[in-house]
Structures are given as C-alpha cells and as structure tokens.
Amino acid sequence: MEKENLLSNQLHEDKDARGKRKEVIKALVRDPLYVPMKEKELAALLSVAKEDREELRSILQELLAEGELMVTARGKYQKNNGMILTGTFLSNPKGFGFVEVEGREEDLFIPEEYVGSAFHKDTVQVALLPPSKGRRQEAKILRILARGITTLVGTFEWSKKNYGFVIPDLSKLPCDVFVDKDHANGAVTGSKVVVEILDYGGPKKNPEGKVTEILGHLDDPGVDILSIIRGHNLPEAFSEKVTNQAIRVAKEVSEADRYGRRDLRDVTMVTIDSEDAKDLDDAVSVDFDGSHYHLGVHIADVTNYVQENSALDHEALERGTSVYLVDRVIPMLPHTLSNGICSLNQGEDRLSLSCLMTVDLKGEITDYEICESVISVDRRMSYTVVSRLLASEDVPQEEWDQDTVRDRETYSELLPMFLQMRDLSAILRAKRRKRGSIDFDFPECKITLDQEGHPISIRPYERNVATDLIEDFMLAANETVASHFYWLEVPFVYRIHEVPDADRIQRLAAFISGFGLSMKTLGRNGKASGEEIHPKEIQKLLAKIEGTPEEALISRLALRSMKQAKYSVECAGHFGLACKYYCHFTSPIRRYPDLQIHRIIKEQLRGKLTEERITHYQSILPQVAKHASEMERRADEAERETDKLKKAEYMEQFIGECFEGVVSGVTAWGVYVELPNTVEGLIHISKLPGDFYYYNEAVCELTDDYSHRSFRPGMKVKVCVDGSDRFTRTVDFSLVEE
C-alpha cells in the first residue's frame, strides 16, 4: 500500500510539473519579443535536458492540437494567428472530407485536392481558403499532427496478382488497404482481420498494412460484433492486476464502513430497473406528509472501492463509460464491483451517497441535503411490474389479469409509495414542461438474439410510467447536486447542452414554414432578431406536430439542429432540459464523470477540499471531461453500428415479403421508410414509379414532374424487402403500388 501511495504522489507531481511547463511555453510564444523557433532552439532556450526532450516534443504537440501554437513551413513554432486551425479530419468515401474544429459552429470542407495523405480521424492543421461560391468555409490541410487510426478492421481478399487487400468495415474510407503477401499472416479470402497501417498512402496511392490478428471468417458466429469492438478499439477483458484489485476491495460492509454515515436502512426504498439489469446503482424512496414530498435518491458509493489513482481508477478513466452492445455489455468496472458490492441488491447493506429532497406541490425543491449514507433496499422492482401496478389503479378490479392480481398481493405494502411516486413524478414533469424542457420521444428498440447471436425478434421499446418516474427523480437529483456545487464555487464536472447555432435554427425555421409552422427566435436583448431560441419554442413545435404525418421528420430535424451534450468544467447550462445547472451524479458504476464528482462531493462533505485539492482538481478535470465526452461518443457509435448490423441480418429472412411502413426521410437519391419494428430501409430513386423526380430540399419532398407523384416524410407506404446487406448494414426496399 505504501508503494502505491508513493506512486500516486509521484503521478500528481508529474502532472502538475507538466502543466507548469505548458504554461511556460504558452507565455513564451505570446511574448511580443518572441521570435519563432524550431524545437531544438526552444529546448536550448528553456535549458531542457536531453532526457526531457521527448516530453517537450509531446507538450508542443498538445499545444498544436489545442490550437495554441502553429508551425511554419520551416518547422518553427509560433503563436496561432487565427488563420491556421487545428481539428479532426473526417473523410468521405468520395475523396473529399471535413475538419471538425472544437468551438467552431460548422465543419470546414476539404476539397479532394487538398486532402493530401490525411486519414480519417487524424488531428490536422489547416489553413482557411478564400471564400468560394459554396456555402461552407473551405480549407487546405497543411500538416498531420497525429494519426487518429493506427489499425483497421475489415474483410481480407486475395487478388489474382499474389497480393491481398483489406476492405475496411469503416465505410468513410475512400479506398482499400494493400497487404503484401508477406504481411498476410495466414489470412484467407473472407477472413475478418485487424490490419496495422504501415503507410497511409496519398492522393494516388492506397494505404499499406499488415494483418496482425485474424478474428475468424466473416460468417462465423460472433465475429460480426467482435469486428465492431475491434474497429472502435473498445476494451474487453480487464487485466489481472485490475481484476485482483477489484476482488481485494469488494468486501462486505463493516461497522467501520458505516461509521460517520447517515443510517437510512429503516427507510423504505426500492430499485426500479429492467428485468435483465445487473448493475443496480440507484434506489429511490418517497414519502408524502400532506403538504410536501420527501424524495430520496440513493446512489452506490463506488468511490469507497475505487480509490483515486489506483489501477481500478486508471482503467475506469480510460474506458470512460460502459458500452451496451446488442449481445453483451463491456463494463467500465469489473463485475465483482458492478454486479456485486457496488450494486444495490435487495436486503443487503450498501454504502451510498444520498440526495434527500423536500418537494412542494408545485414541484419546487424547498430543501435538500447531500450526505454519505448506508442503506438496505427493501425490494428490487422492474419497470414492467411497477407500471402494471400503477395501471391497475385505473382499471376495475374485475378486469385485472392474473399477473396484476399476483403483483398487487406481493407488493401491497409498497403500493401506497408507488402511488406517491406517480403523483410526484407528474408534478416534477409538469414543472419541467412549464419551463420549456424538451422531450424527444423516439422509439428505441429491443433486439433479441439466439444462442449463436442471430436476431430472432426486433420490437420497439416503449416508455411507461415507471421509466418516466425514475427519469424524473434522477433529473431532480442531478440538478440539485449541480446547483449546490456551482454555488460552492469549487471545481466540478457538469453535463452541458449548449444553445443551438443561430444558422441551424434559421434553417429549421425556414423548413417548418413550408408546413405552416413558425418559431420565435430572440436576440440577446430579448427582441426578435433570430440569434437565439428558447427551448420552450422547440417544445411548442413538438406539441403542434404530435400525431401529424410530418411529426417524425420535424422531430428529427429539430434534434439535429441542436448541439451534442457533453461534459465540461464550465456550467454552461442544459438547453434541452431548460435548466442552468446539471450534472451526472446518478450512475457511477457505468459513467466516469459520476464517479469523479462523487470524490469531490465526499471531500467537500468531510471538509477535506483544501486549496491543494482544489488546485489538483482544476488541473485534471478539463481532460477528464474531454476524454469522457470522447468515450461516450465512441460507445454511442459502436452501439448504433451493432443495432444496424443485427437489423440488416434480421431482415434477410424477409426478402421478398411486403410490409406497411412510414416515410422517415426523403433525399435526392431516394426515400427512406421505417417499419413498425424500427428497421429503416431505402427505396432508391431508380425504383420509384416515374422517370423525372425533382428533390425540393425546402420542404423535403421528392416529386415526379410528369405524374406529379410525390413522397414526403410521414406518408404511409407499402414496401417489399429487396435485399439486406450486413456488410454495409443497409436494407433495400421497393415500393408496392396499391
């Protein structure tokens, strides 16, 4: 333990020293007397020892990536003049690409002739080009600062010329990867492989690589999901060191653990989750005294077992989040913790952090307390059972089915609390709606697989009163905790959702005007100038289109007009929830930001948040927030890909069959149709009746000039399944004429 503490202290010192060195370099290049210098010249000026040169190089690369520095054509470092930007290159299979610059409203367009040897996800430095006729700002890639991808997953094929190539699963890449026969390592045509990039190629040269791992044949069970896991560099098994540490710390709650904590074991509380959930990290309790509700949200105290800078902590930070794929969960923490001592299992003492709130009949939180506690959950409940219990209150007893009768008998003592939960949930939800909180109700899907991983059913996953009330209670706790620590003015990690860009809102407003709809936009002075929009206007728009044919289209466009939520050390508010203060407090088993802020909360409660600790958190939290946001996006992409893959596989059995569907999108190349089970496919424009279709982007309509046949989102159509491709994860439809 003493060695681990020494190592931890050394890590803190190293981080602080590196931060100070970065500040020295930033101050140097900002000095009016500074003359641009090469790396060697900087090293000499700063008296950097030879053994520290690599760290200097690393710091310079970081400052380039952050946009603080730029490099001249002669390799000299200087302050960024604003015309040189740093961002992430996103390639397009047609050869051109885009560069995503943090803080910039719109991506930069990179014409094909200016892409050079940049590869998808590379960190690049670009120069802005003179304005062109195109709507988007164009730029030219100057240099590649860091490679974003070093390995790829794809399907191997032998050519007739005694060499191989890998067709990448990543559809954004414009070309295959050449593999010399000496680098095939036993791969055969049809092998799913991991290939290491040896040469990134260029405008007229394919990248080259070598096969480092054969995952199996593309038709072997499980290889499809494994390919997605490898393709996103998702972690799998925990190291022996991490696993052993989890086993050592996962001890039952002792008297010493309970010391100094609020004992809430006599408070009636439940967990409410899906039937197959294994990591139960939140419990709820509600009591009504006639004028106020007393809401308790109790969250597993994971930090008691995952100490800062331990092997477990480093692994959790690296993973950032648990990943929920269609056939497995890749957890942030080992199951020994996530399904064991950190899971709020029924009837077992557990350590927790509790947010105890007093709520009046208008939904205002009039008082609250955040404390360390020890709890014991009375019952593990499922969304299905709680929903059935609450629904039975509105149905005559003689109409109850056997499941309802059984549930009411089994949970008779808890039913009064569930009714109070329903009432409190309705009050909290009404308050959020009144302030303008936006509720996008897109149906998620439940994909069921057989033992070999083949999909056997796909159905929409419907929300119900039980899922809503848990959501309402978690939101209340998250807001309360965020507000409390904002006013304490201490370092924290917030969940933010910034105000949408004005140009996107203007495009949305112009689009919905074609449907006779409008939105009010406000300037910073409160007058209608089109600069900003209040979330209530989006909420009103969604209410107007509810139940209309265009509901799905406009809802999706409204969602796309918004920015992506992310983690930040700045409390910038949450536009979608229409609140000023918000954080993620309720899921420390599966999200690292929650785990991180639990540490801060406990240090503050114990009076240990000293100036030294505040400085420490100020230095590490920006990177924690940035990395967590990146890992969240990676997880989302992998989850979407596995869903699309299994949907495509599922529809293979229905080729030639016909279904009713709804037009979900219209483009210049065809019509997208969504089936009731959430599977979406494309009717290519070549398969539509008629010959001369015109795409009207303003109203998202595809019309044949001669027959006047048109397609718009929301239309009900009948389609036939023409094909389904697992590799491209697409489904092809044709229109069935009535």
Interval 67-95: pLDDT, tens = 678 777 677 888 876 667 889 999 998 88
Task: Tell me the longest C-alpha to C-alpha distance in the chain.
Answer: 89
What is the Cα–Cα distance from 146 to 139, expressed in whole angstroms?
18
Mean pLDDT across 249-277: 94
For domain 151-220, the CATH class is mainly beta
- Answer yes or no: is pLDDT of 526 > 60: no
CA dihedral 125, 127, 133, 134 (to 10 degrees): 10
Mean pLDDT across 154-183: 90
Which pLDDT score, from 0 to 100, does residue 12 have? 47
In percent, the amount of the chain with pLDDT more than 70 equals 94
Which pLDDT score, from 0 to 100, does residue 58 have? 84
Which pLDDT score, from 0 to 100, does residue 125 have? 87
Mean pLDDT across 255-270: 95
Residues of the chain with CATH 2.40.50.140: 2-138, 655-735
- Answer yes or no: is pLDDT of 6 > 80: no
HSE of 586 in the Cβ direction (CA atoms, 13 Å)? Answer: 22
Which pLDDT score, from 0 to 100, does residue 690 have? 80
CATH fold, domain 2-138, is OB fold (Dihydrolipoamide Acetyltransferase, E2P) (2.40.50)
- Answer yes or no: is pLDDT of 359 > 50: yes
The residue ranking higher by pLDDT, 343 or 134, is 343
pLDDT category of residue 173 using cuts at 50, 70 and 90: confident
Taking a C-beta distance cutoff of 8 angstroms, is the pair 737, 689 a contact? yes
Taking a C-beta distance cutoff of 8 angstroms, is the pair 154, 230 a contact? no
CATH fold, domain 655-735, is OB fold (Dihydrolipoamide Acetyltransferase, E2P) (2.40.50)
Which pLDDT score, from 0 to 100, does residue 16 have? 66
Which pLDDT score, from 0 to 100, does residue 527 have? 44
pLDDT category of residue 522 using cuts at 50, 70 and 90: low
pLDDT category of residue 529 using cuts at 50, 70 and 90: very low
Does residue 593 sit in helix, strand or coil?
Answer: helix
pLDDT category of residue 634 using cuts at 50, 70 and 90: very high
- Beta strand ranges found along 52-184 (DSSP E): 69-71, 77-79, 84-91, 97-100, 108-110, 123-128, 139-146, 151-158, 164-168, 177-179
Which pLDDT score, from 0 to 100, does residue 61 have? 78
Mean pLDDT across 19-36: 85
- Answer yes or no: is pLDDT of 520 > 50: yes
In the numeric block, which tokens belong to residue 355? 């947010």
pLDDT category of residue 3 using cuts at 50, 70 and 90: very low
Specify the range with the lowest mean pLDDT, choosing from 263-272, 500-509, 568-577.
Answer: 500-509
Which pLDDT score, from 0 to 100, does residue 133 have? 63
pLDDT category of residue 546 using cuts at 50, 70 and 90: confident
Does residue 129 sit in helix, strand or coil?
Answer: coil
pLDDT category of residue 307 using cuts at 50, 70 and 90: very high
> What is the identity of the amino acid at 263?
D
What is the Cα–Cα distance from 710 to 716, expressed in whole angstroms?
12
Alpha-carbon separation of residue 63 from 60, 73, 78, 695 (angstroms): 5, 17, 11, 45
The residue ranking higher by pLDDT, 161 or 143, is 143
Residues of the chain with CATH 2.40.50.700: 151-220
> What's the N-to-C CA distance of the chain in angstroms?
75
